[in-house]
Each structure stands twice: as structure tokens, then as C-alpha cells.
């Protein structure tokens, strides 16, 4: 909204109004505003939750510090969601298809998580929203996002090719104000919307239509949309699994958000895309505004969520954070980098799957189930080994930073 206001004022040479044309300025402002919202309003929300006695009921898992955590306010994800959406609505171009997609996914997933927390807290049902309903909601997000990215005419992808390149079916040379006169040896073509990036591979574009075959190219969405649904469910649940220690999911999400901001800025800037020889995604620069607010919201929430936590995000936050990361990565065609970038989420998810599967297998075969980990998800395993909660979180953050750097390096390492 402020973008449109100052864009209008710029016509009258209003001092400073032109700054809102710069992505870097609006991204920095979004981060600052989200930090302020998280910190200033976070305390008020914590006090409100205390007065309403909206506290976490911690299950007895035999872990140190559980008694102290019982009763800590939950549903703090409301702070994160507000700190993401308000700066985005103020500073981004709201007619941008990518911004619309991210806002929709944020509200949708936040609502699913809120329902889960509401049932746990107010209905006194420890199970919360049934798993099948969570999955249905996540499938709905993946379906909508997939349809938008495949069928919307506002979603375009440009790929750099040599000047003597012969066009394939469905491709066309493009002339864009941002792609002219960058490199005379190359041209830009508009490729179909089924193209994505494969990390560590030279000529690293992959087309989902290849899985269908050229003879049924128009049916590529039958592969594309299910893949998106799977990614949304996996990353969203991965973030939910990771949210078990003070600041773990929040800090890890902030680190991932910074890496996504770099990837989005590079992909939406024709000069950087040309230099790095990656796909150029016009109009995706507005996503940098959104992800800056995302990072600011996570860092601001850490003010109260770091050890010892004064508030938990609950499923309201964790389901939304994971879903946002998934939809964002898909929007900038970096979804195949998620196993690297979200490695912490992945290993937390896998630890639970492996633990359950191996226990059932050994119980069926030997009559007595065997656990590979002392407890799953993985962070509880380290707690059982005697490591302090803060040390576990710090080390997971370090791993997250390492994985984020590797994900960014994939732009050149092929």
C-alpha cells in the first residue's frame, strides 16, 4: 500500500518517494518493520495469552526442563504471521502474482496450524487437528500453488541460450527491457512453465514435461502439481517436527530465509541471471520483499523464543513456516535444492520415519522392537545423550548455515 502511495507522490517529485522503486530499499524496510512488529507487539501478545491461560501442555518425555516449560504460552505463530503479512501488504506490489501466491499460502497454512492449536488449547484435546485434515489442507495449498504457477499467464521463465540457438516447440525468443544488451553472444528465450533448476548439474534446467514425453507435453502438469503437493507436505511437516526446542525451528527458518532471499534476488535480476547462467524469472523480485519480512519475523520472534522460551510458536507458526519455505522455493524454481537448503528439516523428518519403521520391523521379526535413536525427532536424541538444549540448537543452526551456503554455491558449482 505504501508502495502505491509513494509511487503516486513520486509524480509530484515528493522527496524520497523514488526510493520505493528500489527493491533493496523496500526489502530492508520490510525486514525492519517485521522486526519491530515482532518485538514490540510480541510482548503484548504474550501477556494476552498469559491472561487467557493459553499455555502449552508438555507431554512427559523424560526430558530435562519439561516441568519449567509446561504452561508457557503457545500460538505465538500469530506474531510471526502478522510480522510477515503487514510489511508485505505495506511495501510489496500487491498485484504481483508471486506476492498473491505467497500471501494466500501464508494465510491458508497459518489457519490450519491455528485450528490445530485451538483444538489442543481450548478443546483440551492433546491430539489437536486430525492428521488427515492437516494433509488435506496442505494438499489444497499445493494444488492451488501448482495451478497458479502452471496456468497463470503472469508466470514466465526466461532461459539464456547461444545466439545461434534453434528453437524447440513451445519456445520463443524474447525481448525484455531488462535483458537487452547484456551479452551479445547469448539471447533469452521464453521457455514453458515446467522448467526448474537441478543443483550441481551443468546445463542445470530440468523440464517436468520430459517425464511425460513430447507427445503429451500439455499434460506435464500431471507430474508438476503432485510434486509440488509432496514438497509442501514434506517441508511443512519437517518444520513442525523441528519445532521441539527453544529457537530451533525459528532460527533454522531464518537462516533458510536469508538463502532464499539471495536466490530470489539473483533469479529475478537479468544481469545476475546472465552472469551466473541461471533462469531469469521476471517480476519475481517482489518475492525479496516477502522473504525479507519472513526473516525479520523469525529473528524478531527469537527475542522471546530463544532459550528459555517465553512463548512457543505452536503449529500456527511451524506449519506456516515450512509451507512458506516450500512455496517460495517452488516459485523461484529452486525446489530441487530443498533437500540441501532444508537439510535440518529433512533429517528431523527422516529420524522419525526411520525410528518408527525400524521399531515396527524389529518387533515383527524378533518380537521386541529396537530403537535406533534414544528418541525421535533427532534433537531429542541428543537431549537424551545429555547435551544442553541451547547447545543442541546452536549446533543445528551452524549446520543450517553450512547447508544454506552450499545451496547458494550451487548457482556456480556444477
Mean pLDDT for the stretch of residues 334-355: 94
Q: How confident is the model at residue 126 (pLDDT cuts 50, 70, 90)?
A: confident
Q: Is residue 242 part of a domain?
A: yes
State residue 1's pLDDT score.
Answer: 79
- Per-residue pLDDT at 308 exceeds 80: yes
pLDDT score recorded for residue 211: 72
Closest alpha carbon to 248 in 184, 313, 297 = 313
What would the grid cell of residue 31 be?
Answer: 525486514
Q: What is the pLDDT of residue 4?
A: 84
Q: Is the pLDDT of residue 66 over 70?
A: no
| % of residues, the chain, pLDDT over 90 | 56
Q: What is the mean pLDDT of residues 231-250?
A: 94
Which residues partner with 186 through β-bridges?
162
pLDDT category, 166, cuts 50, 70, 90? confident
The least confident of 87-91, 155-159, 218-222, 234-238 is 218-222
- Segment 191-219 mean pLDDT: 71
Q: What is the pLDDT at residue 68? A: 60
pLDDT digits (tens, 9 = 90+) for 261-273: 999 999 998 888 8
The verdict on residue 399 lying in a domain is yes
Q: How many domains does the chain have?
A: 1
Whole-number Å distance between alpha carbons of 88 and 174: 30
pLDDT at 182 exceeding the cut of 80? no
CA-based R_g, the chain, Å: 22
| 120 part of a folded domain | yes
* pLDDT value for 31: 97
| In a domain? residue 172 | no
Residue 178 in any domain: the answer is: no
pLDDT at res. 297: 97
Q: What is the dihedral of CA 147, 150, 153, 156, to 10 degrees?
A: 140
pLDDT of residue 193: 63
Predicted pLDDT of residue 222: 83
> What is the predicted pLDDT for the residue at 72?
83
Helix (H, G, I), strand (E, B) or coil at 94: coil
Edge-first strand order for the sheet with 186-191 is 157-162, 186-191, 172-173
The reported pLDDT for the residue numbered 206 is 79
Mean of pLDDT values over 277-289: 90
Q: Is the pLDDT of residue 138 over 90?
A: yes
User: Residue 301 and residue 83: Cα distance in Å, rounded?
Assistant: 9
Show the domain range for 11: 2-154+219-409
Q: Which of 113-117, 123-127, 203-207, 276-280 has the lowest mean pLDDT?
A: 203-207
Judge whether 181 lies within some domain.
Answer: no
* Closest C-alpha to 243, from 300, 309, 294, 292: 309
Angle at 63 (CA atoms; ends 62, 64), nearest 5 degrees: 125
Q: What is the mean pLDDT of the chain?
A: 87
pLDDT given for residue 59 in this prediction:
56
Does 18 fall in a domain? Answer: yes
**Of the ranges 79-88, 188-197, 207-216, the best mean pLDDT one:** 79-88
What's the average model confidence in pLDDT over 62-85? 79
pLDDT of amino acid 407: 94
What distance in Å separates the CA atoms of residue 350 and residue 353, rounded to the nearest whole number?
A: 5
| Average pLDDT, integer, range 296-307 | 94
388 or 124, greater pLDDT: 388
In this model, does residue 217 exceed pLDDT 60? no
**pTM of the entire structure?**
0.91
Residues 179, 184, 186, 190, Cα dihedral to 10° = 30
Task: Spell out where 118-238 has E strands.
Answer: 157-162, 172-173, 186-191, 195-197, 205-207
7-39 pLDDT, tens digit each = 778 778 888 888 888 999 999 999 999 999 999
Model confidence band, residue 179 (pLDDT cutoffs 50, 70, 90): low
Residue 96 falls within a domain, yes or no?
A: yes
How high is the pLDDT of residue 205? 77
Question: Which of 68-72, 160-164, 397-401: highest mean pLDDT?
Answer: 397-401
Would you place residue 318 in the very low, low, confident or very high pLDDT band (cuts 50, 70, 90)? very high
Amino acid at each position: 500500500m505504501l508502495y502505491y502511495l509513494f509511487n503516486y507522490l513520486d509524480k509530484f517529485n515528493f522527496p524520497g518517494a523514488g526510493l520505493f522503486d528500489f527493491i533493496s530499499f523496500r526489502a530492508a524496510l520490510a525486514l525492519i518493520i517485521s522486526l519491530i512488529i515482532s518485538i514490540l507487539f510480541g510482548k503484548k501478545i504474550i501477556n494476552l495469552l498469559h491472561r487467557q491461560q493459553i499455555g502449552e501442555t508438555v507431554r512427559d518425555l523424560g526430558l530435562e526442563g519439561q516441568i519449567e516449560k509446561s504452561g508457557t504460552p503457545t500460538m505465538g505463530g500469530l506474531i510471526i504471521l502478522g510480522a510477515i503479512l503487514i510489511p508485505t501488504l505495506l511495501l510489496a506490489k500487491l498485484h504481483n502474482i508471486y506476492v498473491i501466491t505467497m500471501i494466500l499460502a501464508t494465510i491458508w497454512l497459518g489457519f490450519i496450524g491455528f485450528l490445530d492449536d485451538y483444538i489442543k488449547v481450548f478443546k483440551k484435546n492433546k491430539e489437536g487437528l486430525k492428521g488427515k485434515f492437516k494433509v488435506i489442507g496442505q494438499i489444497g495449498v499445493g494444488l492451488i500453488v501448482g495451478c497458479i504457477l502452471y496456468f497463470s499467464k503472469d508466470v514466465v521463465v526466461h532461459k539464456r541460450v547461444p545466439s545461434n540457438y534453434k528453437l524447440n516447440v513451445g519456445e520463443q525468443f524474447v525481448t525484455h527491457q531488462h535483458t537487452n544488451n547484456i551479452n551479445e553472444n547469448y539471447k533469452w528465450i521464453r521457455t514453458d512453465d515446467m522448467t526448474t533448476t537441478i543443483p550441481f548439474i551443468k546445463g542445470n534446467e530440468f523440464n517436468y514435461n520430459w517425464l511425460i514425453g513430447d507427445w503429451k507435453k500439455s499434460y506435464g502438469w500431471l507430474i508438476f502439481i503432485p510434486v509440488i503437493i509432496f514438497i509442501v507436505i514434506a517441508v511443512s511437516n519437517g518444520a513442525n517436527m523441528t519445532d521441539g526446542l527453544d529457537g530451533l525451528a525459528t532460527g533454522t527458518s531464518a537462516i533458510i530465509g536469508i538463502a532464499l532471499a539471495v536466490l530470489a534476488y539473483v533469479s529475478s535480476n537479468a544481469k545476475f541471471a546472465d552472469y551466473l547462467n541461471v533462469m531469469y524469472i521476471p517480476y519475481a523480485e517482489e518475492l525479496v520483499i516477502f522473504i525479507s519480512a519472513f526473516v525479520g519475523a523469525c529473528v524478531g520472534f527469537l527475542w522471546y523464543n530463544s532459550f528459555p522460551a517465553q512463548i512457543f510458536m505452536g503449529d500456527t507458526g511451524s506449519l506456516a513456516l515450512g509451507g512458506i519455505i516450500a512455496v517460495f522455493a517452488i516459485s523461484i524454481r529452486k525446489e530441487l535444492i530443498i533437500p540441501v537448503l532444508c537439510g535440518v528439516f529433512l533429517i528431523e523428518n527422516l529420524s522419525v520415519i526411520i525410528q518408527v519403521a525400524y521399531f515396527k520391523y524389529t518387533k515383527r521379526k524378533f518380537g521386541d522392537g529396537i530403537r535406533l535413536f534414544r528418541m525421535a525427532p533427532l534433537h531429542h536424541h541428543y537431549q537424551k545423550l545429555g547435551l544442553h538444549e541451547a547447545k543442541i540448537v546452536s549446533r543445528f543452526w551452524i549446520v543450517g548455515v553450512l547447508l544454506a551456503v552450499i545451496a547458494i554455491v550451487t548457482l556456480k558449482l556444477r
